[in-house]
Amino acid sequence: MDVTGLTSGVLAVAAGEGFTCAVVTGGGVKCWGYNGYGQLGDNTATTRLTAVDVSGLASGVLALAAGESHTCALTTSGGVKCWGRNNGGQLGDGTTTQRLTPTDVTGLTSGVAAIVAGGVHTCALLNTGGVKCWGWGGSGQIGNGTNSNSVTSPVDVTGLTSGVSTIAAGSNHTCAVLVGGGAKCWWHNFYGQLGDGTFTSRNTPGDVSGLTSGVATLAGGRESTCALLSNGGVKCWGSTLYGQLGIGLIGYYLTPVEYITLTYLPMILK
Kindly report, residue by residue over 138-178, the tens digit of the pLDDT.
Answer: 666 689 888 877 899 999 999 999 999 999 999 999 999 99
Q: Sorting pLDDT into bands at 50, 70 and 90, what band is 259? A: low
pLDDT exceeds cutoff 90 at 244: no
pLDDT exceeds cutoff 70 at 104: yes
% of residues, the chain, pLDDT over 70 = 94
Cβ within 8 Å of residue 244, ≥6 positions away: 221, 223, 224, 236, 238
Task: Please name which of 141, 145, 85 lies closest in space to residue 118, comparing C-alpha atoms.
Answer: 141
Could you tell me where in the chain the CATH 2.130.10.30 domains are found?
Answer: 1-162
Query: What was the pLDDT predicted at 249?
Result: 78
Question: Average pLDDT, stretch 132-141?
Answer: 81
Cα–Cα distance between 71 and 94 in angstroms, integer?
A: 16
pLDDT exceeds cutoff 60 at 194: yes
Q: Ramachandran region of residue 152, left (φ > 0), alpha (ψ -120 to 50) or beta?
A: alpha
Lowest mean pLDDT across 56-70, 129-143, 157-171, 187-201? 129-143
DSSP string across 73-134: EEETTS-EEEEE--TTSTT-SSS---EEEEEEPTT-SS-EEEEEE-SSEEEEEETTS-EEEE
Query: What was the pLDDT predicted at 141?
Result: 67
pLDDT exceeds cutoff 50 at 263: no
The b-or-e profile of 125-147 (16+ CB within 10 A means b, else e) is bbeebbbbbbbbbbbbbbbbeee
The b-or-e profile of 68-95 (16+ CB within 10 A means b, else e) is bbbbbbbbeebbbbbbbbbbbbbbbbbe
Q: What is the pTM of this model?
A: 0.93
Cβ neighbours, 10 Å, residue 232:
7
pLDDT exceeds cutoff 50 at 126: yes
The answer to whether 125 touches 131, Cβ cutoff 8 Å, is yes
Task: Please name which of 82, 87, 123, 84 lies closest in space to residue 103, comparing C-alpha atoms.
Answer: 82
Query: What was the pLDDT predicted at 245?
Result: 85
CATH class held by domain 1-162 = mainly beta
Amino acid (one-letter) located at 71: T
pLDDT exceeds cutoff 80 at 58: yes
pLDDT exceeds cutoff 60 at 208: yes
% of residues, the chain, pLDDT over 90 = 84
